[in-house]
Amino acid sequence: MSRRPRADARRNHDRLLAEADAVFREQGTGASLEGIARRADVAVGTLYGHFPNRRALVGAVLRERNEALFDAGEALAGKAPEEALRQWVDLVVSHAATYRGLAELLADGIDDEASELHASCTRMADIGEQIVSRAIEAGTVRPDVTAADVFTLMNAGAWTREHASAEQAARLVSYTIDGLLVSDRSPQGAV
Amino acid sequence: MSRRPRADARRNHDRLLAEADAVFREQGTGASLEGIARRADVAVGTLYGHFPNRRALVGAVLRERNEALFDAGEALAGKAPEEALRQWVDLVVSHAATYRGLAELLADGIDDEASELHASCTRMADIGEQIVSRAIEAGTVRPDVTAADVFTLMNAGAWTREHASAEQAARLVSYTIDGLLVSDRSPQGAV
DNA sequence: ACCTGAACACCGTTCAAGT
DNA sequence: ACCTGAACACCGTTCAAGT
């Protein structure tokens, strides 16, 4: 419970966050931490003092963006099930494509409780779970579809954006969601 | 056209390939090249003499495996379109999941003519293209599906295998292929 | 309470010198 | 014709010493 950080500590903290955001945007989450410290005019040890590892720094940089994402996700509760699902997946794909390498951190973070990103991953998966179970109850989505399927799809979509294009990723995601829906060739979603 | 490599050169070449395969299997394609040279009892410079960069080494290690894959792909020409598509995607997903990091090299290799893996990527995409166009003509797959969609799906599936599980990857791939098929909600595939 | 920067262990890549 | 290993430039991470 540190209450009043020293003025220089607070300043270093903020500079590190700002430079980390810029550098991750340019070079991805694998960028040199020494480089970030240099750009923030701070010694490496200071960076480690504030953020014990790379994931902690990535998590800190994403904090506000995460809140906005979760709020947007919960605002989808009113929409029609298929629309809500499509929009939620699109939102998270865009989010996870903010920095190159983030999709990988998120995909690994859901299964690693020690990860600083684990809480956000869980939150994302939970929102997806709600949307999916609602869609299944409505008979829109196949009853065997899981929250894990949706979480995986989001990360795979973001990864595709990094390694192909946003258009290609959108196509993959769209086709996959089509495949999740109840149709003539899939089991019916009676509850 | 070097015809008769010196005996020690050939021996070093083979040892490097064998150790590279083992190390990539354990640690992924991002493993230390110095470590591979060490395990092969060879100086680093020797490794670079035989393989100018990491991709060249990965490509060399995959050479035989690639041939088997392509042969298996062409053998699918006789199968029913949907079966051929599903089996081809499964084959490549398994192949691309041989080493952690390979899916990324393949996804990047298709657009990079300088990559030592570019030829294999093109070959994979071509086989996929044949299978898809046959499936579209048969009215099994939606007419707007492209070879790029299938190539992307294969890489995304392999990446998912690395970062989730083989089961989860198989589910994602299966749902996506369902979405590629002609159904009541998708445009009909009349030619 | 926080910052600094040297220290350690590691890496990719090159290239002069050897055989 | 090929191999060696030192050299260079870089990195993640720690921690004694400072203020």
| Cβ <8 Å between B172 and A186 | no
**Distance of A190 CA from C13 C1′ (whole Å):** 62
Determine whether the interchain pair B179/A184 forms a contact, defined as Cβ–Cβ distance below 8 Å: no
Domain contains B2: yes
- Asked if residue B188 is part of any domain, the answer here is no
Cβ distance of B176 and A176 shorter than 8 Å: yes
Distance in Å, alpha carbon of B85 to nearest chain A alpha carbon: 15
Find the Cα–Cα–Cα–Cα dihedral B159, B162, B164, B167, rounded to 10°.
Answer: 90
In this structure, are A64 and A111 located in the same domain? Answer: yes
- Nearest residue to A124 via CA among A94, A79, A169, A168: A94
> Which of these three, A52, A69, A93, is where a domain ends?
A52
Averaged pLDDT for residues B76-84: 95
Domain end (from B13, B28, B52) = B52
Please determine, for residue B184, whether its predicted confidence score (pLDDT) is greater than 80: no
Q: Are residues B84 and B160 both part of a single domain?
A: yes
Indicate the residue of B164, B175, B183 with minimum beta-carbon distance to A107.
B164
Which of the listed residues B52, B71, B87 is the one where a domain comes to its end?
Answer: B52
CATH number at residue B134: 1.10.357.10
Is 70 exceeded by the pLDDT of residue A184?
no
B134 and B75: one domain? yes
Nucleotide nearest to B31 (CA to C1'): C11
Mean pLDDT of the region B160-179: 98
At B187 the pLDDT is 58
Whether B34 and B93 map to the same domain: the answer is: no
- The mean pLDDT value of chain B amounts to 94
- Using an 8 Å Cβ cutoff, are A133 and B76 in contact? no
Q: What is the average per-residue pLDDT within A41-48?
A: 97
pLDDT of residue B190: 43
The domain total for chain A is 2
Q: Which of B148, B152, B175 sits opposite A179 (nearest CB)?
A: B175
Closest residue to B152, CB basis, from A155, A164, A185: A164
Q: Give A104 CA → D13 C1' in Å.
A: 23
* B21 and B83 together in one domain: no
- B153 and B78 belong to one structural domain: yes
In a domain, A80, yes or no: yes
pLDDT for B1 equals: 53
Looking at the structure, do residues A24 and A57 belong to the same domain, yes or no?
no
pLDDT tens string A64-82: 999 999 999 999 989 999 9
pLDDT the model gives residue B188: 53
- The answer to whether residues A47 and A59 belong to one domain is no
CA→C1' distance for A33 and D11 (Å): 9
How far does the CA of residue A52 sit from the closest CA of chain B (Å)?
Answer: 24
Residues A33 and A59 in one domain: no
Provide the angle, in degrees to the nearest 10, between the axes of the packed helices B147-163 and A102-109. 50
Are both B88 and B101 inside the same structural domain?
Answer: yes
CA distance B141 to chain A (A): 12
Closest Cβ opposite residue A184 in set B160, B175, B183? B183
Does B47 share its domain with B58? no
The reported pTM is 0.94
Tell me what pLDDT residue A103 has. Answer: 98
Is residue B191 situated within a structural domain? no
CATH number for the domain spanning A25: value is 1.10.10.60
Q: Are the C-beta atoms of residues B131 and B120 closer than 8 Å to each other?
A: no
Residues of B whose CB is below 8 A from A178 = 178-179, 185-186
Cα–Cα distance between B67 and A148 in angstroms, integer? 35
pLDDT in tens, B114-124: 999 999 999 99
pLDDT the model gives residue A108: 97
Mean of the pLDDT values across residues A159-168? Answer: 98
Residues A174 and A120 in one domain: yes
Q: Three-state secondary structure along chain B?
A: CCCCCCHHHHHHHHHHHHHHHHHHHHHCCCCCHHHHHHHCCCCHHHHHHHCCCHHHHHHHHHHHHHHHHHHHHHHHHHCCHHHHHHHHHHHHHHHHCCCCCHHHHHHHHCCCCCCCCHHHHHHHHHHHHHHHHHHHHCCCECCCCCHHHHHHHHHHHHHHHHHCCHHHHHHHHHHHHHHHECCCCCCCCCC
Neighbours of A60 (CB within 10 A): 17
Chain B residues in contact with chain A using a Cβ-Cβ cutoff of 8 Å: 104, 107-108, 145, 148-149, 152-153, 155-157, 159-160, 163-164, 168-169, 171-172, 174-181, 183-186
Residue B48's pLDDT is 98
Residue B187 lies in a domain: no
**Looking at the domain assignment, is residue A188 inside a domain?**
no
Establish if B83 belongs to a structural domain: yes
Domain span at residue B9? 1-52
| CA–CA separation, A72 and A77 (whole Å) | 10
CB contact under 8 A, A149 and B159: no
Find the mean pLDDT for residues A143-166.
Answer: 98
Contact A178 B177 (CB under 8 A): no
CA dist B107 → A129, B67, B112 (Å): 30, 19, 9
Domain presence at residue B186: no
